[in-house]
């Protein structure tokens, strides 16, 4: 992805994704940020590098009146040319027990529940979600695999 979508294109895409069962099941709180390019405080400057902020489950930050302290966590975001982006095997978004790997504004993989769930995405759409990985790994060890 090289450019942001128009508002109309974005809304049309979100309606399509909202009908996708795997998209609905995804553990990503940030899946709606796909296809978007972000500017720094200066609208002429694209976000690059790492940004750390404290936010709640609704992505509200501490300075918001709607901030929920009970669901608050520290979230680390990585950007390149204004898009959420992973480099050097480092997640584009991470917080305790949750890692998201993005490429130029699109999700590629989500690891959630401390590694017990993995989601695989193609072109911004989830194609497979694997759950109960800890139990599966435990059985493999017990069976000598």
pLDDT digits (tens, 9 = 90+) for 67-126: 999 999 999 999 999 999 999 999 999 999 999 999 999 999 999 999 999 999 998 899
pLDDT digits (tens, 9 = 90+) for 44-61: 899 999 999 999 999 999
| Alpha-carbon gap, residue 110 to 119, rounded angstroms | 5
Task: Quickly count helices (H) and strands (E) in the chain.
Answer: 3, 8
Indicate left, alpha or beta for 123 from its phi (over 0: left) and psi (-120 to 50: alpha). left
């Amino acid at each position: 992805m090289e450019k942001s979508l128009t508002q109309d294109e974005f809304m049309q895409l979100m309606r399509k994704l909202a009908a996708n069962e795997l998209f609905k099941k995804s553990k990503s709180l940030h899946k709606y940020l796909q296809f978007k390019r972000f500017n720094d405080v200066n609208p002429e400057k694209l976000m690059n590098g790492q940004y750390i902020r404290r936010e709640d489950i609704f992505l509200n930050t501490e300075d918001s009146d709607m901030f929920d302290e009970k669901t608050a966590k520290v979230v680390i975001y990585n950007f390149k040319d204004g898009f959420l982006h992973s480099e050097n095997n480092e997640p584009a978004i991470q917080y305790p027990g949750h890692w998201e790997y993005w490429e130029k504004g699109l999700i590629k993989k989500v690891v959630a529940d401390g590694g017990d769930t993995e989601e695989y995405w193609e072109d911004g759409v989830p194609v497979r979600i694997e759950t109960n990985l800890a139990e599966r790994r435990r059985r493999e060890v017990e069976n000598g695999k």
